[in-house]
Amino acid sequence: MSIRRVVPDLRVADMERARAFYRALGFDEVMDLGWAVTLASPDNPTAQIMLVGANADEPQPDISVEVADVDAAHTTMAAAGAEVVYPLRDEPWGVRRFFVRDPDGTVVNVVSHR
């Protein structure tokens, strides 16, 4: 399985306050869905963090792992008996993903861009 990047997903109580903090640290916004914002290093675009509003409606991952082939990753994880907590699907913002829970309860967003 080819891993392209790993991004921590941070739950934030105040999106604007969190944005201001990470902008001051040097990050640039690269995606804004309203309930989720991705910020990246201007010098290393794969160095990213995701801010997720505390009031988001769906299950929220703790970490995102971008893979080259999300369908193959889903097949591998299902065969390993992993607990899928959000089914494999295409999202309107251009990704295909699923969430899986690791043995200690961490929710991992496994994702590929379409």
pLDDT bracket for residue 59 (50, 70, 90): confident
8 and 50 Cβ atoms separated by less than 8 Å: yes
pTM recorded for the entire structure: 0.81
Residue 61: HSE in the Cβ half-sphere, 13 Å Cα cutoff: 25
Instruction: Evaluate if residue 1 carries a pLDDT over 80.
Output: no
